[in-house]
Chains A and B, each alone.
Chain A
Amino acid sequence: MRKRHYLRGLGCLVMVLVFSLVLLNATTLAARDPSTIVVRSMGDISTLDPGNVKNVNDMFIATNIYASLARYIPGTSDIEPDLASSWEISDDGLEFVFHLREGLQFHKGYGPVTADDVKFTLDRIIEGKMVQASYLTAVDSVEAIDDLTVVIRLTSFDSAFLSKLAYRPGFIVSRKAVGKLGDDFSLNPVGCGAYEFVSWLPGEAVTLKAFEQYHDVQPAIQNVIFRVVTDETAAAFAIETGEIDIAVVRSRETIDRFKNDPAFDVDVTPGTSIRMLVMNTSREPFDDVRVRRAVAHAIDRATLQAILGDTVVVTDQLFTPAFFGYTPDVMIYDYDPAVARNLLKEAGYPDGFDLLITSTQLAPWPDLMPVVEQNLKDIGIKATVNYLEHAAYNSWRRDGDYAMTVMPLGRPPHPDFLLAYSFVISQYPPGGNLSYYDKIDSLAEAARAETYEDLSRELYQVIQKKLAYDVPVVPIGYQAVVAVMQSDVKGYLPGILNGFWARYLYYED
């Protein structure tokens, strides 16, 4: 009898629990708020100070808070006026005069945007040796002529200079705000972009709201919440339940899952962040161009594309059509193991050789390297791949001690960014010229310093041909920017390199 009594008690307890869960559930189904959009952030922010912003999570949010003198036209490498309504460039290309628009305002009542703020922004980065300083090495001086006119003088002409100003080094900050907030500025940013910063919940979310005095078209959506969802599976679940309205995703599983579901839209854009195999041209066996060409002929891109799905747009060229000066007219190495084996034989390696390739564990390498490994084995190169965690890889590769490795490189779509970092002598390891390539220094210098645009374009085309002929690297593909969104979210335009533009988004009624 007693025991039955207890059991009844236990039964009641379980009932009460289930009932309260159901009650709680009844209060959960809130209607969608049309003034707010929830965007997935892949990780928490480190800083929103544009001078130091460097990772994708920071950049993703910063692009909405700040504005620059000039900006990229979405989806292109072309530049259009933003804070500056116009500019003049001197004949020798060393002096840029920018004319600011009238009536520009900073967020949170920090007053008008003046030429002095532009000067302050650039001086602060250069003098303070901030992360962005490496983009501004050509700057000699910045002078505010009056409130709305600023002159930037360069030590040497830089054809990519406007592109650099349109990227994060050119995000204008308020002198008054930086002075007042000091170190706190990095987590209480003040800009003059479409959205102003509202709050940061550590590890959870950053909230922005539309800036009423924004100089361009007012955003359609008032509030943007960047919610941190690190795990890709969790992000996919959150899109499915509607907790996230739009997310940039990386895994093939997630993309495939939403691609054929009419409740969601998937946008795939080839990015400007390239993945390549790098060969050390300073030592055997890759000092011989025939061996490098053999590797280029060995890579089976069709299989790679089938495995990587929409995550990577596989390519046989270093630049994409989005780049300034792009030409398709370069040497292409088709997949042809027989030709590759012949080239190896000619180079004196009829039986191939042993090769250790060290790779980062960062996606998509672990998915694509097994294919590369097999492709190389097929032509007689006995390759094995060793994976390092990304931070460990980044330190390891600085020693420059390898025959072959991999390289992910994200840069804006102007060739100078890529060339000046990865293919010039001054960037031998520990710098970014992992292949120790030394054949385009003068060409790259000339292309950058050429003030006549058509000539500059032609020089970049010559460089592309030269690089394809010498194959210091084998291009594998461009990391695609893939966004998954609820089907009523419209207006999505992929941001430039890790950026995100909330201001174009709107809900369809």
Chain B
Amino acid sequence: MLAPITILGLIAVVFVLVRLMPGDPAVTMLGDYATEERVTALREEMGLDKPWYVQFMVYIGKLVQGDLGESMRMQKEVSWLIASFFPPTLLLAVSAMIIAALIGVTSGIFAAFFQNTKLDYGTSILAVTAYSAPAFWLGLMTLFVFGIKLRWFPITGSGSGGTPLDVLRHLILPAGALGLRQAALISRMTRTSVLQTLQEDYVRTARAKGLDNTRVLVKHALRNALIPIVTIMGLTLGVLLGGTVVTEVVFSRPGLGKLLVTSVTTRDFQTLQGLVVVWGSIVIAINLAIDMVYSLIDPRIRYQY
């Protein structure tokens, strides 16, 4: 119920912010040497001469019909543009998510299980280091070590148009760099969550029944420890989608992140708005999905609406 209102609010904020930005899209589009008549004519053509609230109503009117407008820079449908740039971003974010979940959950469980041992301390140090590193720095470092010094992986492009193996090779470094920071967060969260559940009464009961450690961990503790982990992973996917902006630039990958940067520097309002609407909707959809997953993990939680 709240979702459409959130999206509408988001659009309104973006719509106004974009127009508050200094820099005229008509001037930017026509280049440095455009004549005043051409600029005025183009502003009229793009509807930029009308008051912002009129522009807003026109935009919303089209949006409810599924029309995101036309890119001023490319003179193509924004929806077509976003659809063209979306697949590599989705692939990157989902791969990073998988890497983050695999590394994060595994290392978190091990750290909890081996609490206060060298393994635990080691994991903690690595996790804090990875999380403290800025995304672009981590990206450049992985690129430098694995791309340049070791030459294990290519460092530009997405390999699209090539074999699936090509795509995979182009994916590992950026997805790794992007996923590593989130892996750190998930790892810390998992460790805490597992440690807490291990202290619950039902775990003690299970142990008292004589169950071995693996059973206690997997069947009793882990499932209950999952709830906060799933929440953090859901939020992570949103962060990862946003994080693709930096990663795509560092690794010269195509995608929505780069489209966003270009739209800002060229003042391509329509594309910028379209991107935020789509991006925002995805994050909201993910949050809805997480709420539903809760009830699968813990049958006590039932969705109320």
Contacts and interface: CB of A to CB of B under 8 A. Distances in A.
Interface string B143-174: 11001101111111110110001001100100
Contact of A432 (B32, B73, B140, B152): B32
A2 B22 contact: no
Given A55-B31, A240-B148, A25 B155 contact: no
B33 A237 contact: no
Centre residue among A3, A229, A234 by max chain B CB count within 10 A: A234
Given A28-B169, A47-B75, A202-B85, A409 B32 contact: yes
A228 interface: yes
A432 B30 CA distance: 13
Contacts of B76: 183, 187
Contacts of A199: 161
Nearest to B117: A3
B89 to A, nearest CB: 10
B139 to A, nearest CB: 9
Contacts of B22: 388-389, 391-392, 395-396
A237 B21 CA distance: 34
B39 interface: yes
B30 A131 contact: yes
A233 B143 CA distance: 11
B36 A241 contact: no
B259 interface: yes
Q: How large is the interface on B (under 10, 10 to 19, 20 to 34, 35 or more residues)?
A: 35 or more
A237 B24 contact: no
A238 B156 CA distance: 7
Nearest to B30: A131
Interface string A369-408: 0000000000000000000111110111010000000001
A230 B249 contact: yes
Given A2-B213, A10-B110, A430-B39, A243 B156 contact: yes
Interface in B72-86: 73-76, 81, 84-85
B254 interface: yes
B262 interface: yes
A85 interface: no
A217 interface: no
B63 to A, nearest CB: 22
A227 B159 CA distance: 11
Interface string B126-141: 0000000000000010
A140 interface: no
A230 B155 contact: no
Nearest to A392: B22
Given A25-B153, A234-B143, A430-B39, A392 B23 contact: yes
B28 interface: yes
B75 A183 contact: yes
Contact of A44 (B32, B144, B262): B262
B65 interface: no
A31 interface: no
Nearest to B109: A6
Given A28-B153, A134-B35, A204-B157, A391 B265 contact: yes
A231 interface: yes
Contact of A244 (B156, B212, B248): B156
A134 B252 contact: no
Contacts of B41: 129
Given A2-B214, A391-B23, A394-B27, A230 B252 contact: yes
B143 A237 contact: yes
Nearest to B168: A24
A205 interface: yes
A201 B160 CA distance: 8
Contact of A237 (B34, B74, B144): B144
Contacts of A24: 152, 165, 168-169, 172
A388 B23 CA distance: 10
Contacts of A219: none
Contacts of A44: 254, 258, 262
A186 interface: yes
A183 B77 CA distance: 11
B23 A389 contact: yes
A421 interface: yes
Given A183-B75, A231-B252, A243 B35 contact: no
Interface string A36-79: 00000001101100000011000000000000000000000000
Interface of A: 2-3, 6-7, 10, 13, 21, 24-25, 27-29, 43-44, 46-47, 54-55, 129, 131, 133-134, 183, 186-187, 199, 201-205, 227-231, 233-235, 237-238, 240-241, 243-244, 388-392, 394-396, 398, 408-409, 421, 430-432
Interface of B: 21-24, 27-28, 30-36, 38-39, 41, 73-76, 81, 84-85, 88, 106, 110, 113-114, 119, 140, 143-144, 147-148, 150-158, 160-161, 165, 168-169, 172, 212-214, 248-255, 258-259, 261-262, 265-267
16 contacts: A10-B110, A13-B106, A28-B154, A29-B151, A44-B254, A55-B31, A201-B160, A201-B254, A202-B81, A228-B254, A234-B155, A241-B155, A388-B22, A392-B21, A394-B27, A432-B33
The 7 closest A-B pairs by CB, nearest first: A203-B254, A391-B23, A392-B22, A204-B254, A54-B31, A395-B24, A202-B84
